[in-house]
Amino acid sequence: MTKLYRVLYRKYRPKYFADVIGQPQVTETLRNELKNERLAHAYLFTGSRGTGKTTCSKILAKAVNCLDPHDGDPCGECAICRGIDNGTILDVVEIDAASNNGVDDIRNLREEAVFTPAEAKYRVYIIDEVHMLSIGAFNALLKTLEEPPPHVLFILATTEVHKLPATILSRCQRFDFHRITPAAIAGRLSFVCQSEGVTIDENAALLIAGIADGAMRDALSLLDQCMGKDNHITEDIVRKTAGLADKSHLLKFTQMVMDKDSAGAIEIIDSLYRDSKDMARLCEELTGHFRELMLIKTVRQPRDIIVMSDDEYEKASAQALSIPLSDVINAIDILHNAHEKMLRGANRRIEMEMTAVKLCTSAARNTASEIPADLEKRLKRLESALSEIASGQISPGAVKKQSYASAAPPSKRPSNDEMEKLRKEAVPMTDWPEVLEEMRKSSNMVASSFDGSTAYISGKFVLVDSKNSICFDILRNNSRLRSQMKEAIRTVTGKNYSLGRYSYPDEVKEDDPLVQLISDFKSSGIPVDDNK
């Protein structure tokens, strides 16, 4: 009979706390508690998938029952350790709360818990995905969890700790599992490949780590698939196995967006579609790429955060320098909305093509819409006058009469006295958090950029105070998002306000395009009356 293949994440599951990757805040504390015999009666392990919750639960179950523990770790050799590993020790019970979430299931557990262990020292109950228990089941578990028999140990594991009742949380010793860093995952993958007699390129290991998003189990599962294709794993093999678009396609697509070349962007989408690339996955990858551009433009040391090869990072950095931050934020927002529509059942190819067109046209539309209607008319009159002067149709002295007779005076920055008056009149806006929650319905990206901010009301202005300058760049350079923020304020307060920074209103620009054009006229010797 052919021996069944054992997948990598099971074969290389750590057997000791020292082997657990990336969770020292958990493993060191548990080992010290075991060495000092300060065990709690109930533990709660929380964190995203594949970070080691179940692994640490099994190690802890062995360690408390081990006949010959070593420095807080189980020996792995005694009859109890071997029995728990092969499932013959019935005193360690694993329960899947996703399928055993009723009151009757927990009542059966309570009835079993009163009996002393048959072979081990402790009867250990590992309840996975505990947040799936019903309210009745939680209530049935509560009394036993609060005062369990001395021979019983509970280990609860969940990816959604916010769904647990406070009464359960207060009775457990909580440990939070962090996402494992890409470098740590890549190192573990290299170790596994070496043990399996397989070679893996460094860039390929980092790419798998990036795709896994902090989950070691996901990384090992993808590595397992790659090993089925070749004994030498390259970046290209990883991309084909995971169904990813080549990084060059993402860079090229972004360049098409910057060049406003919607036809070229759709051609790239068509090519990837014919190669059986999933459009929702492509949308995710593009969102990730624009996120990388955003980090390069805003973070002091982005290389420590971004997972990619040095060559790709160099190309991404060059691309980031030539695209405004507001366009990057706008692209992320558009791609995020498109992905949500795809998951709700929209035709993915059509949605991706529509998104490409939006991305290629939104920057130009936003730039034009930033110019108020009256200012745009003034600029057109000035441009027309300049054209007539250049062609000799009118004299420079006539500019004042023809171009500025009806023009409004240029905006000026408020004086110090006016600034002080705005500050004195400003009162805290108590419902600012509600405004951000309302804004989150239309743009989670913008609302998140305002996290930690405060707002004040001063006359007709809502003045925002934030240390994050990105949020002001978004609102200043994107009229659509600014209108959404104003609408959110109106929905919450019932009043119409103009937006501004706490220093002085946003509507008052330091660099008025009209002022700059007048300055150009003056430098050319054209007489201009500033008071007209």
CATH number of this structure's domain 8-176, picked from the four choices 3.40.630.30, 3.40.50.300, 1.20.58.220, 3.30.470.20: 3.40.50.300
Q: pLDDT digits over 453-477, tens only?
A: 888 888 787 888 887 777 777 777 7
Segment 10-34 mean pLDDT: 92
- Closest-CA residue to 198 (of 224, 169, 166): 224
The full set of domain ranges for the chain reads 8-176, 182-242, 247-368, 373-411+512-523, 416-501
CB 356 within 8 A of CB 265: yes
Residue partners of 10: CB distance under 8 A and separation at least 6: none
Q: What is the pLDDT of residue 511?
A: 45
Residue 70 DSSP class: B
Please state, as a whole number, how many other Cβ atoms lie within 10 Å of the Cβ of residue 47. 22
Q: What is the pLDDT of residue 367?
A: 40
| Residue type present at position 56 | C
Residue 388 binned pLDDT confidence (cut-offs 50, 70, 90): low
Is residue 345 over pLDDT 90? no
Q: pLDDT digits over 63-81, tens only?
A: 999 999 888 899 989 999 9
The pairing of strands 42-46 and 152-158 is parallel
Give the homologous superfamily in CATH for domain 416-501. Answer: DnaA, N-terminal domain (3.30.300.180)
Fold classified for 182-242: Helicase, Ruva Protein; domain 3 (1.10.8)
- Closest-CA residue to 197 (of 222, 220, 219, 230): 230
Q: What is the pLDDT of residue 365?
A: 47
CATH node for 247-368:
1.20.272.10
**Lowest-pLDDT choice from 13-22, 65-74, 435-444, 472-481:** 472-481
Instruction: Give yes or no on whether 8-176 and 247-368 have one common fold.
Output: no
Residue 153 DSSP class: E
CB 337 within 8 A of CB 481: no
The span from the CA of 217 to the CA of 52, in Å, is 8
Q: Tell me the Cα Rg of the chain.
A: 31
Entry pTM: 0.64
The span from the CA of 348 to the CA of 133, in Å, is 35
CB 422 within 8 A of CB 458: yes
Segment 494-510 mean pLDDT: 64
